[in-house]
């Protein structure tokens, strides 16, 4: 009986990086090497870079124009399929670059082979990351502006609401709620500037650096940079493929901003307790307890506080990855994707949620004002009242300190001590010291640049509102 010939089995695709090697990669190496589960998030940047690259190759006469147009159309289709989740992740193809090129080959055939001329995956991934960093900085700046506007809105509504400022979590001196919230706006304003600085340094193109030493092909690197909206090109091909400074700077900016949000989150946690009672979150930004029906938890603030730890970890991870790498590219750098991709996404998500929580929160002016009763937060004013009458500050400080200790031991408010008692502690005290215990008067007299005087606070509100309004 004649045997039927069996059709040859389809060959499994091998990773591009094994072109000069024989046999299949060990599955254990494949599992360790694959990065598509992480860097698939860079598909849009990868395709943008490829389209700009092939357009330049055509302009330089390296690729026929018709072929370049065919490749660009094919890449448009690949982008759509990535966005729709239609690209099946194959671990044998390792990364986003190989998946995109493989799918392009299925769409346009042999023409796909022109795309990689004058390019390495080393400068390709460096470009993808820089494009991602630029976009991430823009998103972070926008989310920060939203958070700042939420704070400014509450500050505008509470220009006249007074509360104690705190040091060591002890009541210190009176400030307005507007002044307090503007302190957080200042922090976040520095964060916005920082993201702008990271963006500026990231917005240069490494494409054309090849694996580490460029290419013999006559590329127009500046054209690619212009087409991608970047400001220039890198100056050293070795550094271009080995550099991860912009990724580290982005993670640092995210970590420091997350720390600032954690500090705000901590205050929200404290202020929403019954012990403080300064603030109440809207129900839409609070959670309940699975056991205790009376609970209203400020989880949004607690998560903001907790996520600062993750952001700090992302920064440390990136620093540790590159700390001892020789030039130029090393595979260790593949491990940068999770912190790089995760940190800005988590930050923007946190900013958006915390912004909504602040915008919809209700503050309790009566509870804040009650925390100022007794006059202890105005003790420094009494000491400075003596200084204005020629008493050395240390002597004045000691006298008021003794008065405060007496009031505490006697169970009396400092503001309620009569003039005769004040004179026990210093002969220069007279009835004028009693005027020091008016919080509004105290704020009005703190009329220095950066101070909490109402006119200074109003000017700062106008300045920030104008700045953020202009940037909408």
Q: pLDDT band for position 19 (50/70/90)?
A: low
Q: What is the mean pLDDT of residues 464-469?
A: 94
Average pLDDT, the chain: 93
Query: pLDDT over 70 for what percent of the chain?
Result: 95
Q: Which of 17, 43, 168, 290 is catalytic?
A: 168
The pair of structure tokens assigned to 401 is: 């300190």
Distance CA 307, CA 304 (A): 5
Distance CA 368, CA 178 (A): 13
For residues 246 and 198, the answer to whether their CB atoms sit within 8 Å is yes
Distance CA 267, CA 298 (A): 11
Higher local confidence (pLDDT), 29 or 155: 155
Residue 242 has pLDDT above 50, yes or no: yes
What residues does 166 pair with on adjacent strands? 171
The whole-number pLDDT of residue 399 equals 96
The whole-number pLDDT of residue 9 equals 37
Q: pLDDT band for position 470 (50/70/90)?
A: confident
For residues 126 and 209, the answer to whether their CB atoms sit within 8 Å is yes
User: Which domains can be identified in the chain, with CATH numbers?
Assistant: 28-114 (1.10.275.10), 121-217+226-370 (1.20.200.10), 376-437 (1.10.40.30)
This prediction has a pTM of 0.92
Q: pLDDT band for position 288 (50/70/90)?
A: confident
For residues 208 and 118, the answer to whether their CB atoms sit within 8 Å is yes
Distance CA 218, CA 227 (A): 17
Higher local confidence (pLDDT), 346 or 297: 346
DSSP letters spanning 200-264: HHH-SB-TT-TTTT--SS---HHHHHHHTT-S-B-S-HHHHHH--HHHHHHHHHHHHHHHHHHHH
Residue 4 has pLDDT above 60, yes or no: no
What residues does 280 pair with on adjacent strands? 362
The pair of structure tokens assigned to 219 is: 């590329």
For residues 17 and 211, the answer to whether their CB atoms sit within 8 Å is no
pLDDT in tens, 253-267: 999 999 999 999 999
Residue 59 has pLDDT above 90, yes or no: yes
Distance CA 295, CA 346 (A): 27
Q: What is the dihedral of CA 438, 442, 443, 446, to 10 degrees?
A: 170
Q: Identify the burial level of 109 via C-beta atoms within 10 angstroms of its C-beta, where 0-12 means exposed, 13-18 middle and 19 or more buried.
A: exposed
Q: pLDDT band for position 197 (50/70/90)?
A: very high
405: phi then psi, degrees, rounded to nearest 5? -65, -40
The whole-number pLDDT of residue 18 equals 58
pLDDT in tens, 392-422: 999 999 999 999 999 999 999 999 999 999 9
- Tell me the CA end-to-end span of the chain in Å, nearest whole number: 82
For residues 224 and 54, the answer to whether their CB atoms sit within 8 Å is no
Q: Which of 33, 179, 289, 408 is catalytic?
A: 289
Residue 7 has pLDDT above 50, yes or no: no
Q: What is the mean pLDDT of residues 317-340?
A: 95
Distance CA 230, CA 246 (A): 14
Residue 107 has pLDDT above 70, yes or no: yes
Residue 425 has pLDDT above 90, yes or no: yes
Residue ranges of E strands in 242-321: 279-280
pLDDT in tens, 169-184: 999 999 999 999 999 9
Distance CA 393, CA 304 (A): 42
Residue 168 a catalytic site member: yes
Find tokens 């440390």 and name the residue: 316
DSSP letters spanning 375-422: SGGGHHHHHHHHHTTT--HHHHHHHHHHHHHHHHHHT--GGG--HHHH
Q: What is the mean pLDDT of residues 40-53?
A: 97
């Amino acid at each position: 009986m004649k045997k039927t010939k069996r059709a040859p089995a389809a060959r499994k695709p091998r990773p591009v990086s094994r072109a000069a090697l024989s046999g299949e990669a060990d599955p254990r190496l494949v599992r360790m090497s694959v990065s598509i589960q992480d860097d698939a998030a860079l598909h849009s940047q990868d395709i943008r870079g490829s389209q700009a690259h092939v357009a330049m190759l055509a302009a330089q006469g390296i690729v026929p124009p018709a072929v370049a147009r065919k490749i660009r159309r094919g890449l448009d289709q690949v982008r759509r399929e990535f966005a729709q989740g239609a690209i099946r992740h194959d671990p044998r193809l390792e990364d986003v670059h190989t998946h995109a090129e493989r799918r392009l080959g299925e769409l346009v055939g042999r023409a796909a082979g022109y795309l990689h001329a004058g390019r390495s995956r080393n400068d390709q991934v460096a470009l993808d990351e820089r494009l991602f960093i630029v976009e991430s900085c823009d998103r972070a700046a926008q989310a920060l502006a939203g958070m700042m506007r939420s704070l400014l809105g509450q500050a505008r509504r509470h220009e006249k609401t007074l509360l104690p400022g705190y040091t060591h979590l002890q009541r210190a001196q009176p400030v307005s709620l507007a002044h307090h919230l503007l302190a957080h706006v200042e922090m976040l304003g520095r964060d916005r500037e920082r993201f702008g600085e990271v963006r500026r340094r990231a917005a240069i193109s490494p494409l054309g650096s090849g694996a580490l030493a460029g290419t013999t092909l006559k590329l127009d690197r500046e054209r690619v940079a212009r087409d991608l909206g970047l400001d220039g090109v890198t100056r050293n091909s070795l550094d271009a493929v080995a550099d991860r400074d912009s990724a580290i700077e982005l993670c640092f900016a995210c970590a420091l901003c997350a720390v600032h949000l954690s500090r705000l989150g901590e205050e929200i946690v404290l202020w929403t307790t019954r012990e403080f009672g300064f603030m109440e979150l809207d129900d839409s930004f609070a959670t309940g307890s699975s056991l205790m029906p009376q609970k209203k938890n400020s989880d949004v603030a607690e998560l903001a506080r907790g996520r600062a730890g993750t952001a700090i970890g992302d920064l440390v991870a990136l620093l540790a990855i590159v700390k001892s790498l020789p030039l130029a590219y090393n595979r260790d750098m593949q491990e940068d994707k999770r912190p790089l991709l995760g940190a800005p996404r988590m930050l923007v998500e946190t900013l958006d949620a915390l912004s909504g929580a602040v915008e919809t929160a209700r503050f309790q002016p009566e509870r804040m004002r009650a925390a100022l009763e007794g006059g202890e937060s105005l003790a420094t004013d009494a000491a400075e009242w003596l200084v204005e009458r020629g008493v050395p500050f240390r002597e004045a400080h000691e006298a008021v300190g003794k008065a405060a200790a007496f009031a505490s031991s006697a169970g009396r408010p400092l503001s309620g001590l009569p003039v005769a008692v004040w004179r026990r502690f210093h002969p220069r005290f007279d009835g004028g010291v009693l005027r020091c215990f008016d919080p509004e008067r105290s704020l009005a007299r703190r009329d220095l640049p950066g101070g909490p005087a109402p006119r200074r606070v109003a000017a700062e509100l106008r300045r920030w509102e104008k700045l953020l309004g202009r940037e909408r």
